[in-house]
Chain A
Amino acid sequence: MKILLVEDNERVSQFVTKGLQEAGHTTDHAGNGRDGMFLAASEPYDVIIMDRMLPGEIDGLAIIEVLRKAGKRTPILILSALSEVDERIRGLRSGGDDYLTKPFAFGELLARLDALHRRAQGINAETPLIVGDLHMDPLTRKVTRGNRPIALQPREFKLLEYLMRHAGQVVTRTMLLENVWDYHFDPQTNVVDVHISKLRQKIDADFERPLLHTVRNAGYTVTAGD
Chain B
Amino acid sequence: MIRSSAVSLALGYVALGIAALVLFAAPLWYAWQVTIQEGRAEILQADAQRLTDVFRRDGAAGLKNFIDTRVAMQIAGERILLLADSSMHPVAGNLSTWPKAVPAAPGNYTIQVEVADQGTQPALVHVAMVGNCNLLVGRFNTLFAPLQTRFWYGLTAAIAVLSIAGLLVGLITRRALMSRIHSIRQTVSAIMHGDLKHRLPTHLNDDELNTLSRTINGMLEQIELLVHGVRNVSNSIAHDLRTPLAELRSRLEELALIRPPPAETFAEVDGAVADVDRVIRIFDALLRLAEIDAGLRRSGFVPLDMADLASNAVEFYAPAAELKGIDLALLSDGAQSVSGDPVLLAQALGNLLDNALKYAPTNGTIKVAVRRRVDGTVEVSVSDNGQGIAESERVKVVERFYRGDASRGTPGVGLGLSLVQAVAKLHGSVLEFSDEAPGLRVTFTLPVDAAITAASSPPAPQSVEVEVVAPARLASS
How far is A186 from B351 in the complex, measured between Cα atoms in Å? Answer: 9
Interface flag for B343 (CB, 8 Å): yes
The smallest beta-carbon distance between B472 and chain A, in angstroms, is 14
On whether A184 and B358 interact (CB within 8 A), knowing A84-B296, A86-B297, the answer reads no
CB pair A86–B354 under 8 Å, yes or no, is no
Interface flag for A38 (CB, 8 Å): no
Interface flag for A123 (CB, 8 Å): no
Chain B residue at minimum C-beta to C-beta distance from A177: B316
A187 cross-chain contacts in B, Cβ below 8 A:
350, 354
Q: Which candidate, B135-143, B219-227, B279-287, B377-385, is the interface stretch facing chain A? A: B279-287
CB pair A185–B319 under 8 Å, yes or no, is no
On whether A86 and B296 interact (CB within 8 A), knowing A103-B280, A185-B346, A190-B320, the answer reads yes
Interface flag for A217 (CB, 8 Å): yes
CB pair B323–A186 under 8 Å, yes or no, is no
A105 cross-chain contacts in B, Cβ below 8 A:
273, 277
Q: Which candidate, A59-67, A68-76, A165-173, A191-199, is the interface stretch facing chain B? A: A191-199
CB pair A189–B357 under 8 Å, yes or no, is yes
How far is A85 from B296 in the complex, measured between Cα atoms in Å? Answer: 10
How far is A189 from B296 in the complex, measured between Cα atoms in Å? Answer: 28
How far is A101 from B312 in the complex, measured between Cα atoms in Å? Answer: 26
A14 cross-chain contacts in B, Cβ below 8 A:
none
B347 cross-chain contacts in A, Cβ below 8 A:
183-185
Interface flag for A93 (CB, 8 Å): no
On whether A85 and B297 interact (CB within 8 A), knowing A181-B316, A185-B346, A188-B412, the answer reads yes
A155 cross-chain contacts in B, Cβ below 8 A:
315-316
B277 cross-chain contacts in A, Cβ below 8 A:
105
On whether A189 and B270 interact (CB within 8 A), knowing A83-B284, A84-B291, the answer reads no
CB pair A191–B300 under 8 Å, yes or no, is no
On whether A184 and B343 interact (CB within 8 A), knowing A86-B297, A86-B299, A86-B300, the answer reads yes
How far is A189 from B366 in the complex, measured between Cα atoms in Å? Answer: 15
A182 cross-chain contacts in B, Cβ below 8 A:
346
How far is A186 from B347 in the complex, measured between Cα atoms in Å? Answer: 8
0 or 1 for each of B408-428: is its CB under 8 Å from A? (1 = yes): 000110001000000000000
CB pair A185–B350 under 8 Å, yes or no, is yes
CB pair A188–B354 under 8 Å, yes or no, is yes
Interface flag for B317 (CB, 8 Å): yes
Consensus secondary structure, chain B interface: helix
B463 cross-chain contacts in A, Cβ below 8 A:
none
Which of A188, A191, A195, A217 contacts B416 (CB under 8 A)? A188
How far is A189 from B357 in the complex, measured between Cα atoms in Å? Answer: 8
B: number of interface residues (CB 8 Å) = 33
A84 cross-chain contacts in B, Cβ below 8 A:
287, 291, 296
A189 cross-chain contacts in B, Cβ below 8 A:
317, 320, 354, 357-358
B280 cross-chain contacts in A, Cβ below 8 A:
103
Size range of the interface on A?
20 to 34
Interface flag for B477 (CB, 8 Å): yes
Chain A residue at minimum C-beta to C-beta distance from B280: A103
0 or 1 for each of B19-48: is its CB under 8 Å from A? (1 = yes): 000000000000000000000000000000
Q: Which of B184-219 contact A (CB under 8 A)?
A: none
CB pair A183–B270 under 8 Å, yes or no, is no
Which of B291, B300, B316, B411 contacts A183 (CB under 8 A)? B316
How far is A105 from B270 in the complex, measured between Cα atoms in Å? Answer: 12
On whether A85 and B320 interact (CB within 8 A), knowing A183-B346, A188-B411, the answer reads no
B320 cross-chain contacts in A, Cβ below 8 A:
189-191, 194
CB pair B317–A181 under 8 Å, yes or no, is no
CB pair B343–A186 under 8 Å, yes or no, is no
CB pair A85–B319 under 8 Å, yes or no, is no
How far is A101 from B277 in the complex, measured between Cα atoms in Å? Answer: 13
How far is A83 from B292 in the complex, measured between Cα atoms in Å? Answer: 13
Chain A residue at minimum C-beta to C-beta distance from B291: A84
CB pair B297–A195 under 8 Å, yes or no, is no
Chain A residue at minimum C-beta to C-beta distance from B296: A86
B316 cross-chain contacts in A, Cβ below 8 A:
155, 181, 183, 191, 195
CB pair A194–B323 under 8 Å, yes or no, is yes
The smallest beta-carbon distance between A14 and chain B, in angstroms, is 18
Q: Which of B329-366 contact A (CB under 8 A)?
A: 343, 346-347, 350-351, 354, 357-358
How far is A182 from B346 in the complex, measured between Cα atoms in Å? Answer: 9
CB pair A183–B319 under 8 Å, yes or no, is no
How far is A43 from B287 in the complex, measured between Cα atoms in Å? Answer: 37
CB pair B343–A85 under 8 Å, yes or no, is yes
A101 cross-chain contacts in B, Cβ below 8 A:
284
B312 cross-chain contacts in A, Cβ below 8 A:
181
On whether A183 and B350 interact (CB within 8 A), knowing A189-B358, A191-B317, A191-B320, the answer reads yes
Chain B residue at minimum C-beta to C-beta distance from A185: B347
A188 cross-chain contacts in B, Cβ below 8 A:
351, 354, 358, 411-412, 416, 477
On whether A217 and B287 interact (CB within 8 A), knowing A85-B297, A183-B316, A189-B358, the answer reads no
**Nearest 3 CB-CB pairings of A with B:** A185-B347, A188-B354, A194-B319
19 extra interface residue pairs, beta carbon distance < 8 Å, beyond A188-B412, A217-B270: A83-B288, A84-B287, A84-B296, A85-B343, A86-B291, A105-B277, A181-B312, A182-B346, A184-B347, A185-B346, A185-B347, A187-B350, A188-B358, A189-B354, A190-B320, A191-B316, A191-B319, A194-B323, A217-B273
Q: List 26 A-B contacts (CB under 8 A).
A: A83-B284, A83-B288, A84-B287, A85-B291, A85-B343, A103-B280, A105-B273, A155-B316, A182-B346, A183-B347, A184-B343, A185-B347, A185-B350, A185-B351, A186-B281, A187-B350, A188-B358, A188-B411, A188-B412, A188-B416, A190-B320, A191-B316, A194-B319, A195-B316, A198-B319, A217-B270
Binding site for B on A (CB under 8 A): 83-86, 101, 103, 105, 155, 181-191, 194-195, 198, 217
